[in-house]
A and B are shown apart, each in its own frame.
Chain A
Amino acid sequence: MQAASSGATIMLDPAVRPDDDVILSVEDLAVHFPLGGGLLGGGHRLLRAVDGIDLELKRGECLGLVGESGCGKSTVALSLLGLLTPTRGRIVLDGHVVTERRSVDRKRLARIAQMVFQDPYASLNPRQTVRRTLEDPLRLHGVTARSEIDGRIAEMLRHVGLRPEQAGRYPHEFSGGQRQRIGIARALILNPKIVICDEPVSALDVSIRAQIINLLLELKESLGLSYIMISHDLGVVEHMSDRVAVMYLGRIVETGGWRDIFERPAHPYTQTLIAAIPDPLRRAPLATARGELPNPLDPPDGCAFSPRCRYAEAVCRREPGPSLETRPDGHAVRCWRADEIAGQLPS
């Protein structure tokens, strides 16, 4: 599963001592994609998929990363895994600096961070048995004794709620939920410390989602994992996360503890996002943000949310959003009018 062929390189810097508390830190991460000129000779353009974000994941914590399509959350995930070369910024994973243009230790990285993908149909090799899928990473990482391989595979399958005797089967012989269990087993087989879950339940049937969410939370406790939980499903994020970061157009607009985000959302975008979720037990008009996500190639002047924001004033359209001011309680908001509108939920 660790893709071997991207441009990113990883340097292990012995000078960086692992902080006991923080297992992952991201400083000023930016990922820009230069796009070639158009067929008719348009100029070169720059897509700022991620444009200067800071994140911190503490040991044993689940950090939710939410936002709509195109906000850059999956680009962040790929950068953390070293699958994309950041344009600038610094990523430290468990004391190891993931930077650009230095010697690679991708294998080391693979033992620190792994990923669970959205679509268990697309992310498993249909021509490999479960055993093969789980065995390859072990062999690559120097586990060669048959008995140890078999033992670890059997143990991992039990961990994720499958039976060891199912190891000889192919992905198509499993249901969607079981396939996601295989995807989780693959992510965990090398005993990583961090698991990045990118929409782990959105491709599953509603009645199966609870099984996988419960499993992920159990594994987090029993194996002492730290999660980055990427999802557009705010219900899932609220249920699983300790802290949450809300992204909009390549930037974090609000971050804080899950209660801050869900009970006291301060950014108008977070407020809109929460009020736009239809609740099966409560019929209410859904909040709407005017218009759609702007084209990231042509971002609006001022605060990126200002064209859709009900509170936008002249300053919002003129000046880019303020820097993310962290309050003493860890709640941070990037909004010119945050103090005036905090806590209001649009109806």
Chain B
Amino acid sequence: MTAAPLIEVEGLRIDLADGARHVAAVEGVSFRIDRGETFGLVGESGCGKSITALALIGLLRRPLSIAAGAIRFEGREIQGLSAAEQRALRGNRIAMIFQEPMTALNPVSPVGRQIAEMFVLHKGKSWREANQLAVEALANVRVPAPERRVKDYPHQLSGGMRQRVMIAIALACDPDLLIADEPTTALDVTVQAEIIELMRNLCAERGTAILMISHDLGLVANVCSRVGVMYAGRIVEERGSDDIFRAGAHPYTQGLVDSLPRLGSRAALGRSRLREIAGVVPAIADFPSGCRFNPRCAQATEICRTTVPETTWLGAGGLVRCHHHA
């Protein structure tokens, strides 16, 4: 085996078709995730983090399409695969969990059947065997009384239990990569902590890599070993999660951290005005030229308005894209 990463994204561009006009919602996005690694993408709404994830799993639909770049899974280009091959990859090797399990689960099918389906479709098991495996899968995600719970419909379960079911479905076939798109945003914090713990433990046991997508800096920093910060369709900084928020190199990363009312900061530093990031997140059709953060950046100069910043490599494989990086 060569050292091909589990998944590698190179120069990804995703276009949004608006009539005859195409605008790039995601541009020049590259990253790699190794086997068993945890990688996070953070950013605000519209930054392109979720559609990047959908592209990885081959679920982009019109008006979105991949316009340039390559996605390689174990060295093989995903776009080159037939629809059947993509389907086999999806669910079996790459699985995904979504923010709102209520909308991702089928409301008219018992949850046990939805888990069993994975074993029937991807592993060729009989329904009888699959139903038995579904009970085990529910037990693995610590659902109490799994042999009874398999008969429940999604609406009979709490939000946390539904997300456990989603995780059971996603991990049913022992995928190599789990994509988790805001997996706990709809949940209360104490339940979030449990679900994160569960996801982390199960993936560590099985060597499953995680791509976690979130707007919550704290969550990503705590779950992932490496983090990419996205802004307006581009990755502006990528670092190990110990460094990225403590010593952000990009003004946007620094601005995000400084704008947070972090628990404990009032006690330590007193209540001061929170640092604001001026302006608003640009709409996809109005991405500014040059560095896309320049209209909101206190450090912006002429070059920021005209020229897209090059990648600057930092230590330990980190990178930043800013003309005036720290």
Given contacts A283-B222, A286-B193, contact A234 B188 (CB under 8 A): no
Given contacts A207-B281, A235-B261, contact A283 B197 (CB under 8 A): no
* Contact call A276/B217, Cβ cutoff below 8 A: no
A272 CB–B CB distance under 8 Å: yes
* Contact call B257/A280, Cβ cutoff below 8 A: yes
Contact digits for A271-313, partner B, Cβ 8 Å, 1 yes 0 no: 0111011111101111111001100000000000000100000
Q: In the complex, A21→B245 CA distance in Å?
A: 42
Nearest CB on A from B41, distance (A): 14
Contacts of B259 in A (CB 8 A): 206-207, 209-210
* Contact call B277/A207, Cβ cutoff below 8 A: yes
B311 CB–A CB distance under 8 Å: no
Nearest CB on B from A172, distance (A): 12
A199 CB–B CB distance under 8 Å: no
Contact digits for A259-278, partner B, Cβ 8 Å, 1 yes 0 no: 10011000000001110111
Contacts of B261 in A (CB 8 A): 210, 213, 233, 235-236, 238-240
Q: In the complex, A176→B255 CA distance in Å?
A: 19
B47 closest partner in A (C-beta): A205
Q: In the complex, A236→B263 CA distance in Å?
A: 8
Residues in B173-230 with C-beta less than 8 Å from chain A: 188-194, 196-197, 215-223
Contact digits for A185-222, partner B, Cβ 8 Å, 1 yes 0 no: 00000000000000000000111111101100100000
Nearest CB on B from A214, distance (A): 6
Contact digits for B276-293, partner A, Cβ 8 Å, 1 yes 0 no: 110011000000000000
Taking a contact as CB atoms closer than 8 A, the residue among B192, B193, B221 that contacts A281 in the complex is B221
B45 CB–A CB distance under 8 Å: yes
Contact digits for B222-265, partner A, Cβ 8 Å, 1 yes 0 no: 11000000000000000001100110000000011101111111
* Contact call B221/A283, Cβ cutoff below 8 A: yes
B283 closest partner in A (C-beta): A175
* Contact call B190/A238, Cβ cutoff below 8 A: no
Given contacts A208-B280, A235-B261, contact A277 B44 (CB under 8 A): no
Taking a contact as CB atoms closer than 8 A, the residue among A276, A279, A283 that contacts B192 in the complex is A276
Given contacts A234-B263, A259-B267, A283-B242, contact A278 B218 (CB under 8 A): yes
Main secondary structure of the interface of A (DSSP, over half): helix
Given contacts A205-B44, A207-B281, A210-B277, contact A274 B188 (CB under 8 A): no
A320 CB–B CB distance under 8 Å: no
A69 CB–B CB distance under 8 Å: yes
Contacts of A288 in B (CB 8 A): 190, 193-194, 197
Contacts of B273 in A (CB 8 A): 214, 217
Nearest CB on A from B326, distance (A): 16
B275 CB–A CB distance under 8 Å: yes
* Contact call B274/A214, Cβ cutoff below 8 A: yes
* Contact call B222/A206, Cβ cutoff below 8 A: no
Given contacts A214-B273, A214-B274, contact A239 B266 (CB under 8 A): yes
B225 closest partner in A (C-beta): A283
Q: In the complex, A240→B260 CA distance in Å?
A: 12
Main secondary structure of the interface of B (DSSP, over half): helix
Residues in A65-95 with C-beta less than 8 Å from chain B: 68-69
Residues in A149-174 with C-beta less than 8 Å from chain B: none
B271 CB–A CB distance under 8 Å: yes
Nearest CB on B from A110, distance (A): 30
* Contact call A280/B217, Cβ cutoff below 8 A: yes
Nearest CB on A from B167, distance (A): 15
Interface size of B by CB at 8 A reads: 48
Q: In the complex, A280→B274 CA distance in Å?
A: 16
Nearest CB on A from B284, distance (A): 14
Given contacts A273-B189, A274-B263, A281-B257, contact A210 B275 (CB under 8 A): yes
Q: In the complex, A276→B195 CA distance in Å?
A: 12
* Contact call B280/A262, Cβ cutoff below 8 A: no
A177 CB–B CB distance under 8 Å: yes
* Contact call A210/B197, Cβ cutoff below 8 A: no
Nearest CB on A from B263, distance (A): 5
Q: In the complex, A176→B264 CA distance in Å?
A: 28
Contacts of A227 in B (CB 8 A): none
* Contact call A232/B189, Cβ cutoff below 8 A: yes
Q: In the complex, A287→B263 CA distance in Å?
A: 15
* Contact call B216/A292, Cβ cutoff below 8 A: no
* Contact call B221/A210, Cβ cutoff below 8 A: no
* Contact call A238/B266, Cβ cutoff below 8 A: yes
A336 CB–B CB distance under 8 Å: no
* 20 contacts across the A-B interface (CB closer than 8 A): A68-B188, A68-B190, A69-B188, A210-B259, A235-B261, A235-B263, A262-B264, A262-B267, A277-B189, A278-B196, A279-B263, A280-B262, A281-B246, A281-B257, A283-B222, A283-B241, A285-B197, A286-B192, A288-B197, A292-B188
The 5 closest A-B pairs by CB, nearest first: A278-B218, A239-B261, A210-B259, A68-B188, A286-B193
Given contacts A278-B219, A292-B160, 18 further A-B contacts (CB under 8 A): A68-B191, A175-B280, A205-B281, A207-B259, A207-B277, A210-B260, A233-B261, A235-B261, A235-B263, A239-B266, A262-B266, A273-B190, A276-B189, A278-B223, A285-B197, A286-B196, A287-B190, A292-B191
- Contact residues of A with B, CB < 8 Å? 68-69, 175-178, 205-211, 213-214, 217, 232-236, 238-240, 258-259, 262-263, 272-274, 276-281, 283-289, 292-293, 308
